[in-house]
Amino acid sequence: MGQALEAIVIVGGGTAGWSAAACLARFLAKRPAKIVLVDSSTIGTVGVGEASVPNIHNFNGWLGLDERDFIESTQGTFKLGIRFDNWRDRGSSFFHPFGKYGVGFEGIDFHHCLALARERGQTPMLADYSLPIALARGERFAQPVQDARSPLTDYGFAFHFDAGLYAGRLKRYATERGVTHLDRRIADVRLAENGDINALVFEDGTCLQGDLFIDCSGFRALLIEGALKTGYESWQQWLPCDSAVALPCARPMGDLSPYTVAAARQAGWTWKIPLQHRVGNGYVYARDLISDDAATSALIAQMPGVPTASPNYQRFTAGMRRRFWNRNCVALGLAGGFIEPLESTSINLVHRGLSILMDYWPERGVDPRRAEAANRHFELEQKHIRDFIILHYKLTQRWDCDFWRNASEMQVPDSLMHRIDTFRSCGALLQYDAESFKPESWLTMFNGFGVEQESFDSRVFDIDVLRMLGALDVIRQSVAKAAATAMRHEDFVAKFCPSLSSGPGQSVAQNR
Ligand SMILES: Cc1cc2nc3c(=O)[nH]c(=O)nc-3n(C[C@H](O)[C@H](O)[C@H](O)COP(=O)(O)OP(=O)(O)OC[C@H]3O[C@@H](n4cnc5c(N)ncnc54)[C@H](O)[C@@H]3O)c2cc1C
């Protein structure tokens, strides 16, 4: 048995670094380990990241950070899902909600019942059986309730928020619990004789030693790549966007949608994310097909207000670090990889990575078997997400420009092709371990892009079809009724959790 870890060093003070610091401060509260976070105010953070998936509830809940506190301190709003405009073809639109559709009938999955109804000449729309979609259509929001009599009211939701303010809130949480913060620029990383990381070397020549290093240094990947040369698996052949420009604008009064809008464009896609004090906008694009200037102009042309900052340009290569845990170093956030922001999975992967790290925590020194298990687990999670994102491109039926034509014609990973083929053949929604996106999310995509299932669960023929059709009607009406009684999202936020410096156009500086 080795020695218990005594010194944990986190490099980077972005969302990833402060998430790690807060999580480890909570996790190690009863252990003697000392946690130090090093960042550099001369380098700064990536400065984007405004949308999440529902898993953020688990992370904040684990810390004991309640929803109201989170929303108030991050200028947050509620997110029921994403509206995808122009993805299938120009003028099309569908919604990806965080929640199931309808209710199964006599043990048969709901989408098979819907398929049978269609075969019997009915024209039910999947979206009419989702309460989050009905709420979003009316720009409304309601907290889900767990009511055994009505599974329809049990759905997920996430948040839109200012990731910089979130990092600030986590910093307060971590430093109040004993994490030491050092503002120093790292000039070098010193390795021990066995190849592990031994110490950080700062510009002034001083050093900081550690037992375990968490690399949250962003795209620079100072430790995991710079020092340990771990290697990077690129997914650019499937995810060709390699650039983004982000540009916030003031939020027009009355415009506070409880969803993200992701709109397909000539060489990529744009996002629109409403926060309390501003609207976040961005264009994610392939630079060989559109210039930075043209992408910025296209973005500005569809923004709901005038820009309130200069364009923030980012370059990236979609992919993942070959090992998330290498020797005594674990990479989180952009240092560990990036799968482009289409389904807001990056901060989620930071939190998932932390959860896996705790599962395999090196209590008495690094055991390569634990690192291997963690690596396999995290790799699976990332690859499932990768496949889900690639699906958004592969299924397009847009042939009006090179970007989309190439996407529809590309060869996708076998793992993804297998899912598509299986759904086409019999409507089965495959689900594996370590999946962030549940069957209903895959169903949303297949339905949204018009992928038909050629047959369905054969047990559907045993049910009483007339009763099933009647049940479908009841569900559709209940959804519409429940949505109509909910508050408008803007009123909900104003009433329950206005930000500490609330109101369109206000400065966020007061919140830090
Ligand atoms: C265009 C775009 C849109 C995105 N949208 C979303 C989204 O909607 N939802 C989502 O979940 N995620 C999104 N992300 C990802 C999200 O922004 C990041 O995952 C998240 O902010 C974490 O970043 P980070 O902490 O890894 O890196 P950074 O924020 O870049 O932080 C890096 C840190 O390392 C420190 N550092 C670097 N070098 C040194 C050095 N030599 N010495 C000392 N310190 C150093 C810096 O000071 C900084 O503190 C988006 C990313 C991009 C590029």
Mean per-residue pLDDT, 313-326: 98
CB-based contacts of 291, cutoff 8 Å, min separation 6: none
- According to the model, what pLDDT value does residue 148 have? 64
Residue 509 pLDDT > 60: no
Q: List pLDDT tens digits, range 371-387.
A: 999 999 999 999 999 99
How many CB atoms lie under 10 A from the CB of residue 263? 16
CA-angle at 370, arms to 364 and 373, nearest 5°: 165
Q: Quote the CA–CA distance of 7 and 214 in Å, as a whole number.
A: 11
User: Phi, psi (5° rounding) for residue 189?
Assistant: -125, 125
C-alpha distances (whole Å) from 371 to each of 145, 333, 346, 357, 445 are 39, 18, 21, 9, 34
Q: Quote the CA–CA distance of 89 and 384 in Å, as a whole number.
A: 25
Residue 504 pLDDT > 70: no
Q: List pLDDT tens digits, range 456-477.
A: 888 988 899 999 999 999 999 9
- According to the model, what pLDDT value does residue 1 have? 55
Alpha helices (H) along 45-180: 56-63, 67-74, 110-119, 131-137, 163-176
* CA-based torsion, 177, 180, 183, 189: positive or negative: negative
Q: Quote the CA–CA distance of 209 and 246 in Å, as a whole number.
A: 37
109: nearest Cα among 100, 118, 99? 100
**Predicted confidence band at 151 (pLDDT cuts at 50, 70, 90)?**
low
Residue 404 pLDDT > 90: yes
- According to the model, what pLDDT value does residue 510 have? 31
CA-angle at 52, arms to 51 and 55, nearest 5°: 170
Q: List pLDDT tens digits, range 64-106.
A: 999 999 999 999 999 999 999 999 999 999 999 999 999 999 9
C-alpha distances (whole Å) from 39 to each of 191, 316, 467 are 20, 21, 62
pTM here? 0.96
Ligand 1 pocket test target in 10, 37, 38, 39 with most atoms within 8 Å of CB: 39
Q: List pLDDT tens digits, range 98-147.
A: 999 999 999 999 999 999 999 999 999 999 999 999 999 999 999 888 77
Smallest CA separation from ligand 1 atom 44, residue:
39
Annotated active-site positions, please? 79
Ligand 1 pocket test target in 43, 285, 312 with most atoms within 8 Å of CB: 43
Mean per-residue pLDDT, 332-357: 97
CA-angle at 75, arms to 70 and 76, nearest 5°: 60
3-state secondary structure 390-432: HHHHHCCCCCCCHHHHHHHHCCCCHHHHHHHHHHHHHCCCCCC
- According to the model, what pLDDT value does residue 4 have? 79
Q: List pLDDT tens digits, range 53-63.
A: 999 999 999 99
Q: List pLDDT tens digits, range 16-45.
A: 999 999 999 999 999 889 999 999 999 999
Residue 512 pLDDT > 60: no
C-alpha distances (whole Å) from 123 to each of 148, 286, 336 are 29, 38, 45
Smallest CA separation from ligand 1 atom 20, residue:
15
Residue 287 pLDDT > 70: yes
| Percent of the chain predicted with pLDDT > 70 | 96
Mean per-residue pLDDT, 272-276: 96
